[in-house]
């Protein structure tokens, strides 16, 4: 029977929420039920097969491949930061609808915007109250710990008490370097794409062949992550500015309301001025590399045109 409630949200341990995405049909996943392992003289926990699903090309290819091979799946888990591209959310809903599956969404109780700008916290060094965590950086990736890791662990903890949870992770065959990271050395993690020999380009091609194109998102970006991430390259931010003006305006708004610079070298308004200047030079047949470009670009930025927060 069809279920018309697309998002059914529940409070989870007071620190996160989870919901079922696009539950159009009753899930057939739990019919592929866990099976029993023998451990010595005692019966061990049931096995629970969990697919870690981000909606990106690799995790999508992994999920489609597992369904095609009729591999057992008990849960498809999506950690929703609230910061995916709109096309990514459309894609996730499309996968759930077309494959007739249930995708479980977990989400932190506070939004990124609230934590960035409004959350009050005490500064460790000066013992003063600061307004918002402000932009994350390489050493202060609070967004990952708060928006992904914390709700994920709170969701998995009761499952691990009851089951042996095996997690299927979408690492491609040409990303073996990622296996050196401590987080990917968990003995309960399984990497089907590596077993199948599927590279990143293989994954994207397979998804396209299956009818999934993300509305052209991968035509602009090689990898797709949170659209507002300050750790993106200049090239990725340039594409965000060019192809997603509404998101860029939101990025400027947030940057004007918080205290830490977006990047160590530019705030968002300065990046916009750089991209405008690049377009001017390109239209005049001039290069956007080299000393002359950087000298003129910095001169324009430092001329007081760009920095909203300091104006």
Largest separation between any pair of C-alpha atoms in the chain: 78
Q: Which residue positions in the chain have pLDDT lower than 50?
A: 1-18, 20-42, 304-311
Nearest-CA neighbor of 81 among 21, 16, 130? 16
Residue ranges covered by each domain of the chain? 10-222, 232-311
Q: Identify the pLDDT of residue 283.
A: 96
Nearest-CA neighbor of 254 among 114, 84, 107? 114
Q: Which CATH architecture has domain 10-222?
A: 3-Layer(aba) Sandwich (3.40)
How many angstroms separate the Cα of 215 from the Cα of each of 91, 208, 220, 235?
A: 8, 11, 11, 20
How many angstroms separate the Cα of 82 from the Cα of each of 109, 203, 269?
A: 11, 24, 23
How do the residues of the chain divide into helix, strand and coil, expressed in percent and rounded to 5? 45, 15, 40
pLDDT digit string, tens, across residues 141-199: 999 999 999 999 999 999 999 999 999 999 999 999 888 888 778 999 999 999 999 99
Give me 79's structure tokens.
């950690």
| Number of residues that this document lists for the chain | 311
């Amino acid at each position: 029977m069809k279920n018309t409630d697309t998002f059914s949200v529940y409070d989870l341990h007071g620190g996160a929420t989870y919901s079922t995405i696009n539950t159009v049909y009753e899930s057939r996943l739990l019919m592929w039920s866990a099976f029993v392992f023998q451990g010595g003289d005692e019966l061990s926990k049931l096995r629970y097969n969990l697919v870690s699903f981000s909606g990106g090309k690799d995790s999508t290819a992994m999920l489609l491949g597992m369904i095609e091979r009729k591999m057992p799946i008990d849960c498809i888990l999506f950690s929703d930061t609230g910061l995916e591209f709109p096309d990514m959310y459309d894609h996730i809903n499309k996968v759930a609808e077309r494959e007739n599956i249930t995708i479980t969404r977990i989400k932190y109780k506070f939004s990124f915007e609230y934590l960035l700008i409004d959350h009050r916290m005490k500064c460790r060094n000066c013992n003063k109250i600061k307004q918002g965590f402000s932009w994350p950086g390489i050493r202060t990736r609070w967004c990952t710990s708060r928006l992904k890791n914390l709700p994920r662990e709170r969701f998995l903890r009761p499952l691990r008490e009851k089951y042996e949870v095996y997690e299927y992770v979408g690492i491609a065959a040409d990303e073996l370097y990622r296996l050196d990271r401590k987080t990917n050395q968990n003995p309960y993690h399984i990497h089907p794409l590596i077993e199948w020999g599927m590279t990143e380009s293989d994954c994207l091609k397979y998804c396209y062949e299956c009818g999934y194109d993300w509305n052209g998102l991968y035509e602009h970006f090689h990898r797709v992550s949170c659209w507002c991430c300050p750790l993106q390259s200049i090239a990725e931010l340039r594409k965000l500015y060019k192809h997603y003006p509404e998101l860029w305006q939101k990025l400027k708004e947030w940057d004007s309301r918080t205290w830490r610079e977006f990047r160590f070298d530019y705030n968002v308004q300065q990046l916009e001025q750089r991209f405008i200047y690049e377009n001017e030079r390109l239209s005049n047949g001039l290069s956007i590399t080299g000393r002359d470009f950087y000298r003129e670009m910095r001169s324009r930025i430092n001329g007081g045109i760009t920095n909203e927060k300091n104006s």
